[in-house]
Amino acid sequence: MIAIIDYGAGNLRSVRNALTHLGADVTTASTPDQIEGADKIVLPGVGAFGAGMAALRAAGFEAPLHEAVAAGVPLIGICLGMQYLFESSDEMGIHKGLGLLPGRVTRFPVDGPKVPHIGWNQLHARQETPLLAGVQDGSYAYFVHSYYVEADDPADVLATTDYGIEYASVVGRGSLFGIQPHPEKSQTTGLRILKNFVEMAS
């Protein structure tokens, strides 16, 4: 059973539809007790980092997510959900993240390409990982974001994307993963990544 966390700031319907299309048993968790016993967890997110983290904390998910990751439950953060995994973001002030991975979230340089980064761009594999099994290097995924992750540990960077700078677009450590583009909007590539997550041993 895969639990999708509903804290009022995530694009749940399209993610749920994609997972259901892949044959996954999916439930929506709006309270922390509803992720107890889940085989896997999906943390979606759209909008601003600070407001999203405030909503996630207010719903009581912070400690249970730490406990689930420590117990080895596979978890994937999508888009803003990936950014939550890190220590902080400077989007509209300094905001504390979940701190599950070392690093921070910051805005694309003002002298670079147009922000937000919207549209199709490539994933360049940097580490072997079951999450990207069968995904060819250079495959395209769909992005919508103005801020990106600066990961402190290169070993956590599973794939990068170039948008004026090279930045981490897929991250992971153990059973914890994050993906900056929207896999549910990324057609064949995105469905393959979600399928890999669904089929991952838990």
Annotated active-site residue in 21, 91, 182, 199: 182
Element (H, E) at 149: strand 147-151
Residue 184: active-site member: yes
Cβ distance 195 to 189 under 8 Å?
A: no
Annotated active-site residue in 79, 91, 95, 117: 79
Residue 9 is classified by DSSP as S
CA quadruple 30, 36, 37, 42: dihedral sign: positive
Cβ distance 78 to 117 under 8 Å?
A: no
Neighbours of 35 (CB within 10 A): 22
Taking the C-alpha atoms of residue 14 and residue 158, their distance in angstroms, rounded to an integer, is 24
Taking the C-alpha atoms of residue 96 and residue 156, their distance in angstroms, rounded to an integer, is 19
Taking the C-alpha atoms of residue 90 and residue 75, their distance in angstroms, rounded to an integer, is 24
Please list the active-site residues: 79, 182, 184
